[in-house]
Homo-oligomer: A and B are copies of this chain.
Amino acid sequence: MSDIREAPGGTRRGRPPLTDAHRREQRLDISRQAVRLFRARGVAATSGEEIARAAGVSERTLWRLFRSKESCVEPLLSLALDAFREVLRSWPPDRDLAEHLAAEYAFDPGAPPEDVEAVLAVVRMTRDEPALRAVWLVLHERAEDTFAEVIGARLALPPGSLEVRARAAVVNAALRVATDDLARAAGEEGLTALTEQKGRIGEVMRLLAAAGTESGENHT
């Protein structure tokens, strides 16, 4: 809304802020190091100082970029949510939501394979590490706002309305269960069977066929 970046007349002075892209890359790099250490030694046995050292940054800036050591996994986890968000945004008007998701979403972030493997590893770790689970759930819920925008636009309802929020939360829940299941399967069988997993994801997505799209007529 009122995001005034530049005063109307004057020229910029001083060092320009880092670009958002740079910031994201910086956080992502730290995230990679943190996840590597978490996988190797466990979360409890990994200190913030080690993460900072591995990322080639001071501990002070680490705490500036992440509010807790567990939240260092956020950038990697966000890759999965971003990919889903893109598919949701590409939802064509003439198609059923569940059909669209079941057909188009296959958990394929446009990211290097080592990042994808790291994401799946973190999702698996959230089962045993309560703090990581909390991060995962909070991230998921934050993504609901974006889901609500898409769904709200489709239903011609405000994104903050009760119905839209409920539908966004339902989509979010299905995504979480599907992703957890995929990560578990990838951990047990390796991700060779990823194509088979696409079927299971589609299965979950199809479950919200009724709740996600049609039947906008049964509310007052």
Which chain B positions have C-beta within 8 A of A72? none
Q: How many copies does the complex hold?
A: 2
A141 within 8 A of B: yes
How many A residues face the partner with a CB closer than 8 A? 35
What 0/1 readout, one digit per residue, does chain A (129-149) give for beta carbons within 8 Å of chain B? 010011101100100000000
Binds B, one of A7-15, A54-62, A161-169: A161-169
Q: Across the interface, which residues of B come within 8 angstroms of A220, CB to CB? A: 199, 203
Q: Which residue of B lies closest to A218 (CB)?
A: B206
Evaluate whether A163 and B218 lie within 8 angstroms (CB atoms) in the complex, with A134-B138, A138-B130, A173-B173 already known. Answer: no
Cβ 8 A contact of A207, one of B138, B163, B200, B207:
B163
Cα distance, A177 to B162, chains bound together (Å): 8
Given A138-B134, A203-B163, A215-B210, does the pair A177, B181 have CB atoms closer than 8 Å? no
Q: How far is the CA of A134 from the CA of B173 in the complex (A)?
A: 16
Q: Does A118 contact B (CB under 8 A)?
A: no
Let me know if A178 is at the binding interface, CB within 8 A: yes
Say if the beta carbon of A174 comes within 8 Å of chain B.
yes
Distance between A65 CB and nearest chain B CB, rounded to angstroms: 16
**Are A208 and B211 touching (Cβ within 8 A)?**
yes
CB contacts (< 8 Å) of A169 on chain B: these are 173-174, 176-177
**A137 → chain B, closest Cβ, in Å?**
4
